[in-house]
Amino acid sequence: MLEFNDGSHPHCKLCKESDFEELRLGITSCNNSILQPLIFVLAGIPGLESSHGWFSVPFFLVFVITIIGNATILCIIRMEKSLHEPMFLVLAMLSVVDLSLVSATVPRMLGIFWMNAKEISFNACLTQMFFIPSFYVMESGILLAMAFDRFVAFLFPLRYTTILANNILVKMALAVLARAAAVLTPAPILAKRLESFQTHIIAYSYCAYMAVVQIACGDVSKHIVYGLMVIVATVGFDLFFIILSYGLILCAVFQIPSWEARGKALSTCGSHLCVIALFYSPVVFSVLAQILGYHMAPHLQIILDNLYFLVPPMVNPLIYGAQIKQMRERVLQILHCHRN
């Protein structure tokens, strides 16, 4: 996402805590500025450089589990014709975005941790700046689509397949893609216009838009406004309608007279609610911390921000594989065949 971190770096005298306060006011001061560099240096996790090797282990394991889990979900949905339903097709879209997200972030981080490959060209930085948050915004949009799927399934069960026909699913997917492109295309364009910087060191593990803006010189108020607009127009919008959808679903569920039927209905929504809580909790916590003026240590902020992109893609297939009956049975069937 477009993180507002306080990313100071031990090798940069200008990156102090006061810089973050200046950034919030929209102006950064530079005594010894440099022109737009051809190469940036990604710091990884500032202050914990000596522990990069240890950090690489969980990052690598998360990457492997994510690839295997989401690839398995896609294969099962493709092979099992009974799973060619709206809910599972939306789940397949989620797995595709999860695979794209970790593929765009983790290999670069592992390069920093294992080979000290910290240099990144300015154009490559702009590319990361667009694609990484785009995949995050797409995932948020898909979670909203899944909430809408459950809303239709509970409140209009007889019209479920009619409302969520294949052509509607295609339009939803295109809308998610178009929104991400429209909202995040300005990020590299605005960053390209930044002419001078305090340093060429980005106190981050990838090229986050606000991390680059934070080391820029001059008036960056329009960049901050843009960053806030992106958060509101994507995460804020999606989270509002997800909460609204599940609020209406819960109202409908608690009107069911049978306790057994209520329990079955709530268990159906359980996996979706777990994924939603896991996905939005870090960003909500981070934004609230910024609003309340609580400044975490830079390395803790960066680790938390990395959780946006690492944990949900890994956990999503595990949750759905365990909670959804058809998915669980198919996985157990595959494992049983391999044993035999």
Look at residue 36 and tell me whether its pLDDT is greater than 60: yes
Residue range 1-27: mean pLDDT, rounded = 42
CA 220 to CA 208: how far, in whole Å? 15
Which segment of 128-132, 187-191, 233-237, 287-291 scores lowest on mean pLDDT?
Answer: 287-291
Q: Contact, 223 vs 213, CB < 8 A?
A: yes
Q: Which residue has the higher pLDDT, 230 or 204?
A: 230
Looking at every residue in the chain, the average pLDDT score rounds to 81
Reference 133, options 66, 204, 206, 64; nearest CA is 206
Quick one: what percent of the chain has pLDDT higher than 70?
84
Residue 175's CB is within 10 A of a number of other CB atoms, namely: 12
Cα distances (Å, whole numbers) of residue 105 to 94, 125, 161, 307, 308? 17, 12, 36, 11, 11
- Render pLDDT for 109-134 as a digit per residue (tens, 0 to 9): 888 888 888 899 999 999 999 999 99
pTM: 0.83
The reported pLDDT for the residue numbered 185 is 95
The reported pLDDT for the residue numbered 325 is 67
Look at residue 297 and tell me whether its pLDDT is greater than 60: yes
Read off the pLDDT band of 183 (50, 70, 90).
very high
Residue range 221-228: mean pLDDT, rounded = 89
CA 126 to CA 141: how far, in whole Å? 23
Q: Which residue has the higher pLDDT, 85 or 286?
A: 85
State both tokens at 191: 């960053």
The reported pLDDT for the residue numbered 340 is 57
Cα distances (Å, whole numbers) of residue 6 to 37, 73, 111, 112, 338? 22, 38, 24, 20, 50
* Boundaries of every domain in the chain: 37-338
The reported pLDDT for the residue numbered 216 is 86
The reported pLDDT for the residue numbered 18 is 44
Q: Which residues, in sequence order, are bridge partners of residue 216?
A: 197
Quick one: what percent of the chain has pLDDT higher than 90?
26
The reported pLDDT for the residue numbered 8 is 40
Q: Which residue has the higher pLDDT, 278 or 131?
A: 131
Range picked from 282-286, 289-293, 323-327, 335-339 for highest mean pLDDT: 282-286
The reported pLDDT for the residue numbered 22 is 42
CATH superfamily of 37-338: Rhodopsin 7-helix transmembrane proteins (1.20.1070.10)
Residue range 43-48: mean pLDDT, rounded = 78
The reported pLDDT for the residue numbered 12 is 42
Q: What SS3 string covers the chain?
A: CCCCCCCCCCCCCCCCHHHHHHHHHCEECCCCCEECCCEEEECCCCCCHHHHHHHHHHHHHHHHHHHHHHHHHHHHHHHCHHHCCHHHHHHHHHHHHHHHHHHHHHHHHHHHHHHCCCEEEHHHHHHHHHHHHHHHHHHHHHHHHHHHHHHHHHHCHHHHHHHCCHHHHHHHHHHHHHHHHHHHCHHHHHHHCCCEECCCEECCCCCCHHHHHHCECEECHHHHHHHHHHHHHHHHHHHHHHHHHHHHHHHHHCCCCCHHHHHHHHHHHHHHHHHHHHHHHHHHHHHHHHHCCCCCCHHHHHHHHHHHHHHHHHHHHHHHHHHCHHHHHHHHHHHHHHHC
Residue 113's CB is within 10 A of a number of other CB atoms, namely: 22
Residue range 255-268: mean pLDDT, rounded = 74
The reported pLDDT for the residue numbered 130 is 94
The reported pLDDT for the residue numbered 24 is 41
The reported pLDDT for the residue numbered 324 is 66
State both tokens at 213: 């803006």
Instruction: Report the relative pairing of strands 27-28 and 218-219 from DSSP bridges.
Output: antiparallel
CA 306 to CA 242: how far, in whole Å? 23
